[in-house]
Amino acid sequence: MARASIKKVVIPVAGLGTRSLPFTKVVPKELVPILNTPTIHFIVEEVVAAGIEQVVFVTSSGKTALEDYFDVNQALVRTLRERGKEELAECVEKTNKLCEVISVRQKEPLGLGHAVLCAAPVIGSEAFAVALGDEIFPPWDANTPKGPLATLSEQAGTQSASVIGVMQVPREQTSSYGIVDVGKAEVGSAPVLVKSTVEKPKPESAPSEYAIVGRYVFGPEILDCLKAVKPGVGGEIQLTDAMSALASKGRLYASAVQGCRYDTGSLLGYVKAQIDAALRDPSLAGPLKDYLRTLR
Ligand code: UTP
């Protein structure tokens, strides 16, 4: 599983987005902008930086705007050019040149594991990446300008196994995440073997403080593990259960992901991303700081 063999990334975008209702009734949360850039744009740029060529969106009804975003819009580009707005026309054209998009449908929101399984016919027997559409690792962290997928793809090639990204979280927050059990091993930037994964454990029973973040590189064997997972509450098929099955075969590694991460599917994460982006924008930082000072 050399790095060059990771050609596809699966990005599931078929969830209900209940934490962001009511706007997710009509707008996919993956399209909410951080300033003027949709969150999905940041993710696809990270994918491209990892050398991955094809994006497989797992979509559902009402999500066509996501596919449209990466498609050509000749009428808009023509109008912008006619009005002398060449820079904007190029900015719009850039979005449809970023990557090749393939779409598959998830007909019912039966969980993240089920969503990944919906992409199986497109994946075939290749290793592939998965990126969650509501988590961003923006390029403004100078230490990790490429984002985690590039590193995880390389490591999966070296280990010839699946490698998932993890980040340390405060123990009191373990019940909000999938947590890895790595025994006594120290999780660092070199991958360590995962013994099992536990979905949202209470702090007192969490096997570690390392939370699974939304970046993964899997061997095709994860698809067999997913097919064997028994549906849980609401018929949902959890990716965490399939990862645990992979771990029990000694085929799953965890690697500490560097850089700043925003969970844009949560309101607080979204607001933090927005403020950080604005404070990094030379035209907004000054006026925004002035405004924030008036709030005290
Ligand atoms: P989340 O659990 O964060 O998303 O799933 P959600 O269910 O849409 O949102 P909330 O929790 O109700 O607010 C992580 C990713 O997996 C996708 C989601 O679209 C999201 O990007 N997903 C989740 C699917 O594609 N299908 C599913 O059945 C569940």
Residue ranges of the domains in the chain?
Answer: 3-265
Question: What residues have CB less than 8 Å from 203, skipping those under 6 apart?
Answer: 171, 172, 173, 174, 175
Which residue's CA is the closest to the ligand 1 atom numbered 1?
15
pLDDT digits (tens, 9 = 90+) for 99-115: 999 999 999 999 999 99
pLDDT digits (tens, 9 = 90+) for 133-181: 999 998 887 777 788 999 999 999 888 899 999 999 999 999 999 999 9
> How many Å lie between the centroid of ligand 1 and the Cα of residue 113?
10
> How many Å lie between the centroid of ligand 1 and the Cα of residue 63?
13
Predicted pLDDT at 278: 97
Does ligand 1 come within 6 angstroms of the Cβ of 109? yes
Q: Residue 257: CA atoms inside 13 Å, Cβ hemisphere, count?
A: 33
What is the pLDDT averaged over residues 258-264? 91
Predicted pLDDT at 188: 82
pLDDT digits (tens, 9 = 90+) for 179-192: 999 988 888 889 99
Q: Check whether 293 has a pLDDT greater than 70.
A: yes
Which residue's CA is the closest to the ligand 1 atom numbered 2?
15
Only one residue has tokens 């969980």, namely 111
**Atom of ligand 1 lying closest to residue 28 CA:** 19
Q: What is the mean pLDDT of the chain?
A: 93
Q: How far is 94 from 294, CA to CA, in rounded Å?
A: 38
Distances (CA, A) of 46 to 1, 15, 99, 150, 278: 20, 21, 11, 8, 20
Q: Does domain 3-265 have CATH number 3.90.1150.10?
A: no
Q: Check whether 38 has a pLDDT greater than 90.
A: yes
> How many Å lie between the centroid of ligand 1 and the Cα of residue 99?
23
Q: How far is 159 from 268, CA to CA, in rounded Å?
A: 36
**Atom of ligand 1 lying closest to residue 21 CA:** 13
Predicted pLDDT at 2: 43
- DSSP annotation string for 211-247: EEEEEEEE-THHHHHHHHPPP-GGG---HHHHHHHHH
**Atom of ligand 1 lying closest to residue 266 CA:** 13
Which residue's CA is the closest to the ligand 1 atom numbered 22?
15
φ/ψ of 179, rounded to 5, equals: -120, 140
Does ligand 1 come within 6 angstroms of the Cβ of 16? yes
Structure tokens at 95: 């979005």
Q: Check whether 249 has a pLDDT greater than 80.
A: yes
**Other beta carbons within 10 Å of 216:** 26
Tell me if 54 sits within 8 A of 119, measured CB to CB: no
